[in-house]
Amino acid sequence: MKQGKPRVRYYDHDFYLNIEQSFIDSGKTYGCKRIAIDLLTKGIAKSSHKKILRYFKMRSISTNNHVKWKNKVAKPEKVGKYPNLLTDPENFDKYGDVFSVDITEKEFNGERYYTCGFYHIKMKKIFGLVTEKNKGNQLVEKSFLKMTDEFGVFLPNSVIHSDNGSEFKAYNYKLMLMYFNLIPSMSRIAKSTDNGWIEGFWSVFKRECLKENYCYKGLAEYQLNASLYQKFYNYVRIKL
């Protein structure tokens, strides 16, 4: 086998000095590709980033890219259509009745059921449980009207808190809140913990009320089971 000539590398010291100068001018934040672009735009030299990378490895140079991200200004949090009024639980006393509303879903025997309810945070009771096979504005409207019949008269300055679902941004939902003088409140976007009261109830509801691997005969049987559990939860079950 014919042996080729040994490869000889020629080091251009002026070129390497320009690399170091560009690296220092950037506050030691430029990487190999950015230095190659910087040298090209300044008209100093044209080189590939691989050649600069070899020089970095030879000199054991590491960039400080984390510095610029550490000092980066944080983006403001995305808020919903209405402000979140329940950020501090200690300020609940300045409000009258405080409700938390949400929609949950459960699948049985290939059919999906959607349940909407209003959880009273101070009383720790659930009102207006309504179940349907379709999720939409009508489900929220039926649940709201049932809640008003079951609960009665609202105290002044009452609040209803929800997530950013489209059902709670609808115009009819806003009109119902205005008719009963209720203040809307919404969670921050992608922050399910802001509506943790009703989420906690749904976990208890699915664990204690809904039977796993049970085939309900229809929607009527499912609603009957939910209404019986609502009475048990409000008046019998011990809540801490």
What is the residue-level pLDDT of the chain in tens, covering all 240 positions?
555 555 545 556 777 778 788 877 777 777 777 788 888 887 776 777 777 777 777 777 766 554 444 455 556 666 677 888 888 877 788 899 999 999 999 887 778 889 999 999 999 999 999 999 988 899 999 999 999 999 999 999 999 999 998 999 999 999 999 999 999 999 988 888 889 999 999 999 988 888 765 677 788 888 888 999 999 999 998 876
132-144: b (≥16 Cβ within 10 Å) or e: beebeeebbbebb
Phi and psi of 106, rounded to 5°?
Answer: -150, 140
Domain residue ranges of the chain, discontinuous segments joined by +: 13-66, 89-235
- 59 by Cβ neighbours in 10 Å (0-12 / 13-18 / 19+) ranks as exposed
Give the pLDDT of residue 121. 93
**What's the start-to-end Cα distance of the chain, in Å?**
85
Quote the tokens at residue 63.
Answer: 């960039």
Question: Going by C-beta distance under 8 Å and a sequence separation of 6 or more, which residues neighbour residue 45?
Answer: 15, 18, 39
Instruction: Tell me if 80 sits within 8 A of 189, measured CB to CB.
Output: yes
pLDDT digits 0-9 by tens, 204-222: 998 888 876 567 778 888 8
Q: Considering the domain 89-235, what is its CATH architecture?
A: 2-Layer Sandwich (3.30)
Q: Strand 158-162 relative to strand 125-132: parallel, antiparallel, unpaired? A: unpaired
Measured CA to CA, the distance from residue 140 to residue 137 in angstroms comes to 5
pTM: predicted TM-score of the whole model, two decimal places: 0.67
Give strand pairing partners of 137: none
Give strand pairing partners of 125: 120
